[in-house]
Structure 1
Amino acid sequence: MLLLVLFPFLVVAQGYKLPKHQKFQKIKFELINNLILVPLQVNGVELTFVLDSGVSKPILFNLSDRDSVPINNVTEVTIRGLGDGEPMKALSSKGNKFTLGKAKNYNQDLYVVLDKGINFSTSLGIPVHGILGYDLFRDFIVEVNYHGKNIKLHNPALYDSNPKTKSQTLRMSIEKRKAYVEGIVLMSDSDDVPVKLLVDTGSSDALWLFHEPEKGLDIPEKHYEDYLGRGLSGDIFGKRTKVNGIKIGDFELKDAKAAFPYRKSFGHIKNFGDRNGSVGGEILKRFNIIFDYSRNQLTLKKNGNFKAPFQYNLAGIELQHNGLRYIAESLADSNGIVRNDDASFGNVQILLENKTRLSLVPEIIVSGIRAGSPAAEAGLLEGDVILAVNGKRVHQYKLQEVLKMLNDKEGKRIRVLIERYNRDLLFSFVLKKVF
């Protein structure tokens, strides 16, 4: 999960442009944990960034010893994002070249966070180097096709604004470089609460609401404490629940997943004004969306994800990558005959007497566990190394695929083989409905 908020900063004139007469640039993206991951060149270096409409300036982080990214005109600043940690030192850099397809910005400001603890790659399962947002949305009409996993960056001067079939265009306000839309939260069968929500593609969650009982936004009786994600300034916790529904325009999602984050995660924001929360990727992915900042318009069209059930952490386990480990693969079949194949997992292999292959693969560990959850009651602990789920060795799967195995459906029995203090242990539990 990712939702970042920065103080507004004064910037010099800059902008993205497409080649003359080119109407749009189409770019494929990866959708991981409801987040849009795009390939981006920063000063000629290929990186991966999250497209985050909730952030004002690009932020570069997760630089390893192997990364070499030249940056220009550097000064030191202090920034703060979501989370209950302290503000952090960062570098402010001006005059950088950003390239996204054929869209180029030759004068891009960015912030560089040097703290190695800021690393979202471990929880997403692939290297992620930063986030970008407002500047791209400001300079283009951005069409996000969540179902087809591509975006189109339209040249505003050449854009055909004819409405799409079965779509609806809503008013969107732009305040301090962030987009807001109005909606209605159905807190009960008879209690409809109008809300103003930050439109946040950088949040993997569904709906965040601020606890404001005087406005009708009280925490439902059925809820539990949950880890909601990580921001630049630390972990974010709150109350996980669901509401009867959320309406945006003429579209209504029933029994919507929701959370009430604790206020201390927003400690640096003194006044929310008339904002009541945010709408994130688990709701946004149900639409194909056109962001038109120049006209203050948001166009929504339902896609194939619209009726997909909301995803809850039924097992109560958080996972992350934790470096690398060796696994042994026998190259002989049950008759002792050595197979002649190249199938392996990992980029580094060692052959032992041509019968056993050691492969270096990512290690997946339990990074968090919810009190009272099925996994916790079964005896799983933070730090356990996951070896297999229901007989499937996890090194053959991506991190998000392993999480899906652990949260398949209510009533399913899950068997998890783990390593703890050099011992292999098998745990079993049944996935329970959270509400």
Structure 2
Amino acid sequence: MAKSLLRYLLLSLLLCISLPAVSQGFAFNHGKEKSPKIHFELVNNLIVIPLEVNGTPLRFILDSGVKKPILFNLTDQDSVALNNVSKISLQGLGEGDPIEALRSTGNVFEIAGLKNPYQEVYVVLDRSMNFSPALGINVHGIIGYDLFRDHIVELNYGRTFLRFHNPDDFDGKMPRSAITLPLMLQGSKAFVEAGVVVDGGEEVEVKLLVDTGSGDAVWLFPDQEEGLKVPETHYEEFLGRGLSGIIYGKRTKIDQLRLGPHVITDAKAAFPDMASFNALKDLQDRNGSLGGAVLKRFNMFINYPAGELTLTRNARFMDPFHFNLAGLELEHAGMRYIAEKITDSRGVVREDQGNFGNVQILLQNTTRLSLVPEIVVSAIRAGSPADEVGLREGDVILAVNGKPVHRYKLQEVIQMINEKEGKRVKLHIERFDSDLVFSFVLKTLFK
């Protein structure tokens, strides 16, 4: 697969560098709301939050698996001023070498009613480290531990908001159905114990990283002695990209995932290739990670100071897990003009169906040209329905089952293509200035 492939499975970008201890963290602004609340966007199970860096508004993914904030995808349009900059190397997930980056200290980070005037941040210079095309929205960085470490973070996936509580003032009131699990902190990372049943075996106790920066469900590290073997029914898949390269693994299902008394059956799972973790020094007794596709089924209080994770099931708990049935990876790749008739056969102006681009040109008051994001095929899984009918990387998606894709967000288009097993999908695509149509039937890989 192409090196530029990026997927929403962001995967805790675990840093393996020596970082100086910094005592200053996010503090509540005096005169602001006692427990500040902020709404987030949930995009492919990832939490995207607004955050100001030295007065510049940016978008960050909330990634509990990352130690220090990381900036990427910065352009001259963002105009972010950073202080006290020096060059370093970062090592993270993936099979590649460490990457070049910048370290900056003494920056002012603000979110809701919290402020850190001495924030340390890293800037990745590799332009391929850009998750925006795969997410369909502009994202500038990731932040995690520094937001969690001193506060009780109320994370409401059901109503898509975060609330920060001061542990000294928190009244401790929880929903009646809430259950509290021990949250084990090792350095900057938080772990929870769970139980998994794999391929009809006995339940195995596992220690999982709580990873809001992964859009996947469960990652398990293969370990025959622990009873964590890869189920016979699986397929090879691109799982995502870490700081040090692309991560591959085996996609499958597990019979059961248990968090306290909460049991999820037929959970989506992956067994990553362990070569991607060879450079990391802090795996210790970790058995895998717990990502957004599971976490979003709960509303929670994440309490690093007390070492507690409090969970309440929400309306998403019974949602089915989604798989890439078509075998296509899609991403945004620049912009394109599309032409639409705005009058009917009698010359009457049609009702406006929405603004599909920031730039619009009217031609003789009958046709509208709109500048819209271009959606392209970024990868195809070998042997998948899309591969079998001849789709290729670089194909531009124009319509799905007759619906023009410029009317939809990227993630909505992905859902349309992978709606359900047995559904026939017809894709209208552009390839080298030629319009082509491909049709295939979605099929499961777990029979």
TM-score (norm 1): 0.97
Distance 2:311 2:343 in 1: 55
Distance 1:65 1:403 in 2: 31
Measured against aligned partners, the alpha-carbon deviations of 1:384-403 in whole angstroms (never above 9, x if no partner) come to 00000010000110000000
Distance 1:254 1:234 in 2: 32
Report the equivalent of 2:3.
Answer: none
For the 8 Å contact 2:92–2:280, the answer to whether it is kept is no
Tell me by how many angstroms 1:416 deviates: 0.4
Measured against aligned partners, the alpha-carbon deviations of 1:11-49 in whole angstroms (never above 9, x if no partner) come to 322111113485311100000000000000000000000
Change (3 A) 1:372 1:158: same
Unaligned runs of 5+ in 1: none
Report the equivalent of 2:228.
Answer: 217
For the 8 Å contact 1:63–1:116, the answer to whether it is kept is no
Change (3 A) 1:412 1:91: same
Within 5 A, what are the aligned runs for 1:9-28? Answer: 9-20=19-30, 22-28=33-39
Counterpart of 1:48 (choices 20, 40, 59) is: 59
Counterpart of 1:5 (choices 9, 14, 22) is: 14
For the 8 Å contact 2:196–2:204, the answer to whether it is kept is yes
- Give the letter aligned to residue 10 of structure 1: P
Counterpart of 1:422 (choices 410, 416, 433) is: 433
Tell me by how many angstroms 1:273 deviates: 1.4
Tell me by how many angstroms 1:330 deviates: 1.6
Within 5 A, what are the aligned runs for 1:64-79? Answer: 64-79=75-90
The 3-state SS of whatever aligns with 2:97 is coil
Report the equivalent of 1:390.
Answer: 401
Report the equivalent of 1:106.
Answer: 117
Report the equivalent of 1:380.
Answer: 391
Distance 1:70 1:29 in 2: 25
Residues 1:174 and 2:185 aligned together: yes
Tell me by how many angstroms 1:163 deviates: 3.7
Name whichever of 269-278 and 340-349 sits farther off: 340-349
The percent identity for this pair of structures is: 57
Distance 2:93 2:428 in 1: 35
The 3-state SS of whatever aligns with 2:37 is strand
For the 8 Å contact 2:199–2:231, the answer to whether it is kept is no
For the 8 Å contact 2:108–2:115, the answer to whether it is kept is yes
- Give the letter aligned to residue 431 of structure 1: L
Residues 1:134 and 2:142 aligned together: no
Residues 1:282 and 2:293 aligned together: yes
Aligned length: 435
Distance 2:243 2:283 in 1: 19
Change (3 A) 1:223 1:347: same
Change (3 A) 1:43 1:275: same
Tell me by how many angstroms 1:342 deviates: 8.3
For the 8 Å contact 2:108–2:118, the answer to whether it is kept is yes
Within 5 A, what are the aligned runs for 1:83-232? Answer: 83-232=94-243
Tell me by how many angstroms 1:214 deviates: 1.6
Name whichever of 323-332 and 188-197 sits farther off: 188-197
For the 8 Å contact 1:23–1:159, the answer to whether it is kept is no
Distance 2:226 2:385 in 1: 35
Distance 1:115 1:326 in 2: 29
Name whichever of 6-15 and 152-161 sits farther off: 6-15
Distance 2:109 2:203 in 1: 44
The 3-state SS of whatever aligns with 1:368 is strand
The 3-state SS of whatever aligns with 1:179 is strand
Change (3 A) 1:334 1:153: same
Distance 2:231 2:200 in 1: 13
Name whichever of 283-292 and 60-69 sits farther off: 60-69
Distance 2:260 2:426 in 1: 43
Tell me by how many angstroms 1:338 deviates: 4.7
Distance 1:139 1:5 in 2: 20
- Give the letter aligned to residue 317 of structure 1: L
Tell me by how many angstroms 1:320 deviates: 0.2
- Give the letter aligned to residue 12 of structure 1: V
Change (3 A) 1:333 1:245: same
Change (3 A) 1:271 1:344: closer
Tell me by how many angstroms 1:341 deviates: 5.0
Distance 2:48 2:74 in 1: 17
Unaligned runs of 5+ in 2: 1-8
Distance 2:353 2:257 in 1: 51
- Give the letter aligned to residue 223 of structure 1: H
- Give the letter aligned to residue 96 of structure 2: G
